[in-house]
Amino acid sequence: MKTVEVGNNVKVHYVGTLTDGTEFDSSHKRGEALLVEVGSPGLLKAFDEAIVGMTEGEIKEITLSAEEGYGARNPEAFQTVPKEAFGSEFQFEEGQTVQGNGPYGPFLATIKQLEETEVVLDMNHPLAGEALKFQIEMLEIIPEGE
């Protein structure tokens, strides 16, 4: 039986939850399996490593520490930006996740505090500081050339 190796293209379904069972992501809910080249950048390293050695049809559950996931929370990762940077139609809400483009590319941030003309953003990844659980189902190991 063929097993996943670094460099293989594979299709997986997964469900990601926090340790309290709160679901934060699911390929099932999006209705689309994740297609990935094993060993390429883009996936969490520990998730990628967990796929290696799996066989088609196998289901695996893994738990990642905060460090293996999105890292520890950085208490200094806050930035104050003018509200006008969001556009006049934007509806602000504390706790809301926003996406933007910075000098290093796209980023996610959480609105931590609203002020009269400014917004304080928590630039930590929304899942920073969290242990993450994943259920991974290996759907297909795609043969080379396809």
Q: What is the CATH number of domain 9-70+128-142?
A: 3.10.50.40
Strand-pair category, 59-64 with 132-142: antiparallel
Label residue 95 left, alpha or beta by phi (over 0 means left) and psi (-120 to 50 means alpha).
left
Residues 30-48, mean pLDDT to the nearest whole number:
94
Residues 132-137, mean pLDDT to the nearest whole number:
98
pLDDT at 105: 80
Q: Do the domains 78-122 and 9-70+128-142 match in fold?
A: no
Domain boundaries, the chain: 9-70+128-142, 78-122
Distance (Å, whole) CA 72 – CA 1: 39
pLDDT at 146: 61
Task: Kindly indicate whether the domain formed by 78-122 is annotated with CATH number 2.40.10.330.
Answer: yes
Q: With bands split at pLDDT 50, 70 and 90, how would you rate the model's confidence at 106?
A: confident
